[in-house]
Amino acid sequence: MTTRVLLCQRDELTPGSLKKVPNAEVGDICVYNLEGQYYATADLCTHATASLAEGDLEDGLITCPVHWGQFDVRTGEAVTFPCEKHLRTYQIIVTDKEVFADVAKEAEEALAADLA
């Protein structure tokens, strides 16, 4: 079974934008374009129930639309109250045309930050 999940076309998201990718197996995924670099995290806020894709993306931080907790989308780190539990990240695989997530792996930044 492949753990590779198609997130979007490479030119689909402009820098600074984000989108929710429904996924029944691992839960919905949120994909972000940070100045040309793609990142992916779980879409569900770890605080209560909210889709992060409806939040504001600024300076690499996603602000939850419900209680305005914040995560660093590169590492998944919960940086602003009331979010205390870190966010699950996914490793990105970029091909010629498409952006995938490997849902079996954390993002490298998350591993480096030792949050995973």
Q: What are the residues binding another protein (CB under 8 A)?
A: 48-50, 54, 56, 63, 65-68
Question: 73 with 110: CB under 8 angstroms?
Answer: no
The interface partner of residue 82, options being ligand FES, another protein, none and the CB cut-off 5 to 8 Å by kind, is ligand FES
**Element spanning 108, H or E:** helix 108-113
Chain CA centroid to CA 20, Å? 9
Residue 111 sits at φ, ψ, to 5 deg, of: -65, -40
Kindly tell me which of 49 and 95 has the beta carbon lying closer to ligand FES: 49
Given the complex with ligand FES, which of 87 and 103 has the nearer CB atom? 87
Which tokens in the block code for residue 65?
Answer: 């639309």
**Which of another protein, ligand FES, none does residue 54 bind to, with CB < 5 to 8 Å depending on kind?**
another protein
Backbone angles phi, psi at 113, to 5 degrees: -80, -5
Q: Closest separation between CB of residue 57 and another protein, Å? A: 13
Residues 28 and 42 sit within 8 Å (Cβ to Cβ): yes
Residues that bind ligand FES (CB under 6 A): 45, 47-48, 50, 64, 66-67, 69, 82-83
60 binding partner (options another protein, ligand FES, none; Cβ < 5 to 8 Å by kind):
none
- Whose Cβ is closer to ligand FES: residue 55's or residue 106's? 55
Residue type, 113: A
Cβ closest to another protein, residue 8 vs residue 50: 50
Read off the amino acid at residue 63. Answer: T
